[in-house]
Structure formats: C-alpha cells, structure tokens
Structure 1
C-alpha cells in the first residue's frame, strides 16, 4: 500500500482533479498527471493508488532512473498498476509502456506524473496516442486552499448570464495577500519571509534542474533576467522582439526560452481571441505566471509592497484571475477555452471565455473597489460585434457586491471565482435545474 507523502500543510487537501483522475483510471490504460514541480502531483498519485497495491517508482531516484535507462522493458513489467513519478526524466520509457499496454490493454495500468509537457520534449519518441489521457494539475486553487466543497464560477456564469449575483467580504488587502501567497503547498504553509526564501530557491532549482534537462541553454543568468522581465509584464502582450531588445539577446533565443518556461509550467500564454470579426484584431498572446506568488516574488513585492499605489498590482491581479480561471476550466462541466481580446486601436478585453457552442463571457479585471461605466468600454465594443453570442460581460473588482451596469454588464467581486459553489442561482438546488 502507498501512503501519501507528508503534506507541508499538515493534511492532504482534496484536489478538484481527483475525481477526474479516478474516472480516467477506470477506462484508460495510461493516465498522466502533468504539472509544475511541488504542485502536489505525487501526493495526488499516492491518494489515487494507495488502496490498489500499486508499485511506486520515482525517477528522481538515481537508482530507479539508471534502471529505467538500462532496461526500459523490464522496468515497466509487472502485473499490477504502476506509478512512475517524474516520467519526463526517462522519456524512452513511453515506448516500453506502449508495448506493455498493447499486450495487456486493461485500464489503469500506469499512472504517470511529469513536471514538463511531454509533447513538448523533442526526445519523446511517442505520446501514446489513443492510450493515454493527460490531466493538468496546477498549484492549489483558492477554493482548494479554503477547503470549499466546489468551485463553479465558470459553470454559473454560462448558466445564469446576467442573473449571476454574488457578494463577498474579501477586501483588497485580502486579494493581495492571496496573490503573494500563491498556491504551492510549501509556500502556503510558510510565513511570508520563509515563503520568499522557498520561492527564490524554487526558481533557482527549476532553472538548474528542469530547464537544463529539457534543453541546453547558453546562459542561466539570461533566463533569470528574462523571468524578472516577464513578471514585470504580467497581463501584457508577449512580444519576444521587445523582450530581446530589453535583454540584448536574440529574438530566437527569447522565443526558445519562453517555450521552455511554458514546458516546465512556469508561465502560460493566453491566446488572442478572434472570430474574424475584424481584420484589425491583434493575434499576439498574453502572458500569465502559473503561480502569482512566484511572479510577485520575482519583482520583490510582498503583500505590503503591492498595496502601494505605484506597485504593478493591476497586471499581477489580472494574471492571478486568469490562472484561477485556467484551473477551474480543467474541472468545469462547461467545456470552454480561455482567450484575451485586443484590437490595433487599443480596444481590449482582459479575458474571454468561449464555450464549444460559441457562447462568450467577457471579463475585465480591475484592482479597485469602485467601477465606472467606462470600465465596460472594451466589453461593449465586443458585444456590438458578437450580438446574442455574448452571454454577459463582467468586470471583476475588489468591491463587495454585484452591481448592474445596463442589461448585460455586471461588476462582480473577484472572490466569486472560488466562493461560488453551484451553477444554479441562489436558493435553487442544482437537481431542480436538471
């Protein structure tokens, strides 16, 4: 029997990904949990398999790693389920796993974890098409930290539209505290000063270990300089040429470094949204850090520093909101994708959620406790083009109440992202709406 690793929080928090992973293991031969280092992948894998008598093999162990390299086929042989932790360290194992599950195709044979996107690794010989399901695990969401039963903001706004209402007691200071804390269990469990030390070491280890493993880089110091510059541009368009000019290194090198940082789950590119409504739409992606605590720490800001008027709170808060939505999209019932919208005349909407049916929720983020009608300018421009396909436009802000701004627009507290636990309106049971 496998026992879950000891959590730095003193308890193993339930992850929203757990039921999804259990479903995948029930009908899929190989399941991969992919995510950043220290986000809880090994703990989740242990929780999923502790009652199955699974074999556990961690490729962080030099002994197991050398055994896997020496004889991949023998390494994955066995009758029972097997957990292979940090599988990206020996990607050649995937061919041996493919051979094994083709010979014995019953579900739940292998549970893999990885700290780099396997499909992005050039040395990966085969991605097990049709045999493997990949689940992304992010650092803890705010609702997971708060131990709320569910987080259903995405489902609720698509179901309710302009009927969506939420109030919250969270203050601007509360949001800043959450942002600088981030979602890594080790960081959440620490005091602010000790958290900063952990995040400093995390970045150093990530560059010296995972990034160097994924691909050779010429100068680690250039990567560190790029990271700080990216943190300063959180929530902005990601233009490698501009970054290259600031760093005095080549644009191709910057592009390669950005690809590496995304492969190891440090940053996320949010693509531009367009339905060919205008030829003047900008196709450049936006940048968000997977963990807001890392972004804040790279810039040297603690919670008190981000409260200052001259702090980069706006961009960091937008990235924080974007990643809470990205987390939620991995488990929401509504199948939707996350984008941003910007035109060449500077009209923009921070975040756009589009369902598979083409219905859209437009979201702007404001680091203030008051909202004006002009804050919906970008949303209104998008609404004029979309018509009835725009379900609603929301400005997420640090105030307490939901406030209507016309028939389709609402100002909503940011905390609705993790405090809303049902897709039904308040007072209506979910079962009544089925």
Structure 2
C-alpha cells in the first residue's frame, strides 16, 4: 500500500512458494506498481537474494557479465524487472540446464516476456508463470478468496450484506493499484495519469518501437472507452490515422504492459472459436475511469458509464480468482442471435459452468436470467451449471433451477 499503510497479504504468495518447490525458474508478471516488488522482497531470506534491475548499477553489471551476474551463491536469486536486461535470459537458461534443482530463480517482469525473443528461445519449458494484478477488493478486505468454489456450489450467505451502490462505485473508481487506493479522487486521477505517462515514455521501449506516440496515447483512451466490449480492430483504429497492422501491434504492446486483457469466447469445440471475438477489458477499473476523466457523481447518473465501470470492476475481481488455480478458465459468451453472458467460468475437472451476468441495478427481475436459462438448457448437456446475476442490491435471492441474484459485495465477503 502507500506510505504509512499496511502491506496486505497477496493471494499469490502461496502459489509462489509452491511453484518454487518444483520449478527451476518462476516468473511473477504484472503491471508496474501492482505490488510485484513488495511481494518479491517478502520472499527474501538467508537463502534468497533480491536485486532489482531498476537500479542503474545492477543493470550495467548484468549487461557487462550476464553469466557472472546470475551465478551467485544464493539458493534462490530474485531478479526484479527482468525485461530491463533480456540478455540475462540465455545466461539463466545455461545455468538451470547445468543444475536441475528447483527454485533457482524468481523473476519479476512488468512486461510480458512472450514479447521478448530471448525469453521464448531461452526458457521455453523451463519457466512457470504467475500473474499478479492490482489488489482485488477481496485482498483489500482480506476475504473472498473462496468465491468461485462457493459460487459453483450455490453457497452464498443468506444474510443481508450492507453495501450500497455508491460504495461499489467508489471501490470501482479507486481500483486496485496500492499507491492510488488511499488517495482522494483528484490525487488518484493525477496518479493514474502520471502512471500512464511513465509507462509510455519509459517501459514501452523495453518491448517495442513506437513511432507514433501520439497515436499510442490516443489508443490508451480508446481502449479505456472500449472496456467490456467485443474486440473490433477496425472500429478501435478509426480516427488514429495509422494502418491496421500498426493498430494491432500497438494494442499488443498495451497487452504486454498488462494494461488491457482479452477474454476469449466460450464455444463447445475449439474449431468453433475461429472468428469469434474476444472481449476487451482494462485490467484496472480505477485506471480506466481516470483515463476517461470520470467523476463519481457523473458515473452514478450515467447508465452506460456505470454499466461499463461495474462490469470492468467485476472482471478485475473474478480474473485473479481464476488464476489462483489451474482448475478454472474464464470466457464470455455471445452468439449470432445476440444472446450474451458477461462471464463464464469453466471448471476443468468436470466441465461445470458458472455463468455470471452483471447488473448495476438495485433490483433483479426474472427476465434478467433469460440467457442464463437458455444456456443451461441448450448448451450444458447434463453438466453442472450455476447461474448468477451479480447486482447492486443487498440480498441473496433464489430464482429457481440453480439461478440466484447475488450482491456484488459477495465478491469480497467471507
């Protein structure tokens, strides 16, 4: 958290410890300022040495002698911001090929290493990856980690959860970047805007060459406005005065910096996915709101804004939960008849589906379940199905046949 604030436990800490017991190299990847460095430093011990490549001296040493840099006496070497010196990756490969013991390297990266050729060439099959996102509402409340397990079983508390829609909007506007959460609205917007500026002026060059920084800045605004919508490259690129391949490359760079995510379409078979559009989301609802210069009063009164804000916020809560286990896959659903479901979480072990619709309203009607009911009847083939409408009310309400209206606040409840 920010200066003087308590450092909150991260859900991924146990994952890191577990993976270091059986993998030679582990990458903790995520956006700048989401808490990677804090978490990596917490892993320091007598057997684990920490060093950051944000330090100019460390960078120069790593570039001058990559092999000597990685061959230290520590049982585990923690290297922060590995993308700053990609020449270390072949040296790490050589080291772990000579010594097969697990837990040798914990790397952190603020850019997706898949965009760096040395990573794909050097560490394929040798590296495990964990995504760290900005703090979820559950992590902030130190609750909610078991939401998916409970949701698949329809196990929701039956007592009222006293959280108003204004509180949900406030949380969504705050987002999850630790340094920004405790700031007032005006200071938070400035923090987010400075953050974007720093990424585009410094970190972007670590992964790609951008010849039109003005177009990239405009694309950031467009992708923020596009959050929770189906991908359409032609429409996203309209007005940027750059060619489609450049739009795709720039969008890929924003994904590599963990600013935006794609949620794939769910289909019965992989071949059916061809041509289906991904859904685009900003990786932090607070950052999205600041880029678009939204205020709480305006957002609460604007149906389009509050819908986009709350759906993006819900995505920011569900996505990290699906990444805590290999058991879950996150999708959206939309077919040619425009039947839509905001999120589908598929459980790998038995093919069970948790279908989630998001409503900013204070109440729910039976009509809000029509696509969930259709999906359960037409697409499940006897597999377990749970359908929920997350809404801004305070009561868990049953609508029969495994369907429930559930307060959004359950996402950060025990």
- TM-score band by shorter chain is over 0.9
Is 1:349 matched with 2:349?
no
Report the Cα distance in structure 1 between the residues aligned to 2:156 and 2:303, rounded to whole angstroms: 33
Residue 95 of structure 1: aligned partner: 90
Is 1:45 matched with 2:37?
no
Residue 367 of structure 1: aligned partner: 360
Instruction: Assess if the C-alpha contact under 8 Å between 1:34 and 1:134 holds in 2.
Output: yes
Give 1:255 deviation, angstroms: 1.1
Which residue of 403, 406, 412 corresponds with 1:409? Answer: 403
Aligned length: 410
Distance 1:105 1:52, change over 3 A: farther
Give 1:152 deviation, angstroms: 0.8
Instruction: Assess if the C-alpha contact under 8 Å between 1:142 and 1:418 holds in 2.
Output: yes
Give 1:344 deviation, angstroms: 1.7
Report the Cα distance in structure 2 between the residues aligned to 1:277 and 1:370, rounded to whole angstroms: 37
2:94 alignment partner, SS class: helix
Which residue of 67, 79, 83 corresponds with 2:73? Answer: 79
Is 1:70 matched with 2:68?
no
Report the Cα distance in structure 2 between the residues aligned to 1:11 and 1:203, rounded to whole angstroms: 25
Report the Cα distance in structure 1 between the residues aligned to 2:265 and 2:391, rounded to whole angstroms: 23
Report the Cα distance in structure 2 between the residues aligned to 1:220 and 1:33, rounded to whole angstroms: 28
Instruction: Assess if the C-alpha contact under 8 Å between 2:284 and 2:313 holds in 1.
Output: yes
Residue 23 of structure 1: aligned partner: 18
Residue 106 of structure 2: aligned partner: 111
Is 1:33 matched with 2:32?
no
Distance 1:127 1:296, change over 3 A: farther
Give 1:165 deviation, angstroms: 4.3
Report the Cα distance in structure 2 between the residues aligned to 1:95 and 1:245, rounded to whole angstroms: 40
Which residue of 254, 262, 270 corresponds with 2:263? Answer: 270
Distance 1:185 1:215, change over 3 A: same
Is 1:249 matched with 2:242?
yes
| Equivalent residue runs for 1:130-149 within 5 Å | 130-148=125-143
Give 1:60 deviation, angstroms: 1.1
Distance 1:304 1:9, change over 3 A: farther
1:124 alignment partner, SS class: helix
Instruction: Assess if the C-alpha contact under 8 Å between 1:281 and 1:342 holds in 2.
Output: no
Distance 1:319 1:281, change over 3 A: farther
Instruction: Assess if the C-alpha contact under 8 Å between 2:262 and 2:280 holds in 1.
Output: yes
2:119 alignment partner, SS class: coil
Report the Cα distance in structure 2 between the residues aligned to 1:90 and 1:320, rounded to whole angstroms: 34
| Equivalent residue runs for 1:186-197 within 5 Å | 186-197=179-190
CA RMSD in angstroms, aligned pairs only: 2.1
Is 1:202 matched with 2:190?
no
Give 1:7 deviation, angstroms: 4.9
Q: Deviations over 1:171-201 (max 9, x none)?
A: 1101100011010110012222111111010
Give 1:265 deviation, angstroms: 0.4
Q: Deviations over 1:122-148 (max 9, x none)?
A: 343535234322111111011211233
Instruction: Assess if the C-alpha contact under 8 Å between 2:83 and 2:206 holds in 1.
Output: no
Report the Cα distance in structure 2 between the residues aligned to 1:28 and 1:202, rounded to whole angstroms: 33
Which residue of 205, 225, 232 corresponds with 1:239? Answer: 232
Residue 56 of structure 1: aligned partner: 50
Report the Cα distance in structure 1 between the residues aligned to 2:303 and 2:71, rounded to whole angstroms: 59
TM-score of the superposition, structure 2-length normalised? 0.94
Is 1:183 matched with 2:176?
yes
Give 1:16 deviation, angstroms: 0.6
Query: 5+ residue gaps in structure 2?
Result: none
Instruction: Assess if the C-alpha contact under 8 Å between 1:305 and 1:311 holds in 2.
Output: no
Report the Cα distance in structure 1 between the residues aligned to 2:126 and 2:271, rounded to whole angstroms: 40
Query: 5+ residue gaps in structure 1?
Result: 1-5, 422-434
